[in-house]
Amino acid sequence: MTFEQQLCDLLPWLVGKARVFTRMECEDLAADTVLRLLEYREIWDGRDIRPWALVTMRNLWINRYKRITMLPMLPIKDWDGPVDCPHDGRMLLERIKALAATDLSVQCLLLSAAGYSHSEIAQRMGITQRAVTTRVYRARKMIQGL
């Protein structure tokens, strides 16, 4: 059986295994896995393709997860707001900065957006990590209401 035939027969199995990693994007993850396997088919040695496919899928998922969670955030001074924003982005920034001067929740959120971990923020502010998590959550809800 050729590599391509094995890969075609393996596709439903790949989609099922992708559901273990992500329910919403399982077809995308399976398709990316197939593309990666096709890209490196010259290193296939004729053995069962499933273990190689599963490891490739896991690595793709880990890379995607890290990319999503580690996206760099723009510093607030460089943000102009979304293009389709119904109000001026700079005005919203000024309101958030004014809140940050008095509200510890907004300060925690700004530090989190700057890239600090919750444990670093807790250490810096002298509070527990749980308190930081709660304050970041409250600040996000407050800013959504602005």
Report whether 80 contacts 89 (CB < 8 A): yes
Q: How far apart are CA 87 and CA 102, in angstroms?
A: 23
- Each residue of 71-121: pLDDT tens digit? 555 455 555 555 555 555 566 667 766 766 667 777 777 777 777 888 888
Torsion on CA atoms 85, 89, 93, 95, rounded to nearest 10: -70
Domain ranges in the chain?
Answer: 3-69, 76-144
What lies within 8 Å, CB to CB, of 138 at 6+ separation is 105
Give the CATH number of domain 76-144.
1.10.10
For residue 73, the Cα-to-chain-centroid distance in whole angstroms is: 12
pLDDT band for 55, please (50, 70, 90 cuts).
very high
- pLDDT for the residue numbered 107: 78
Three-class SS state of 83: coil
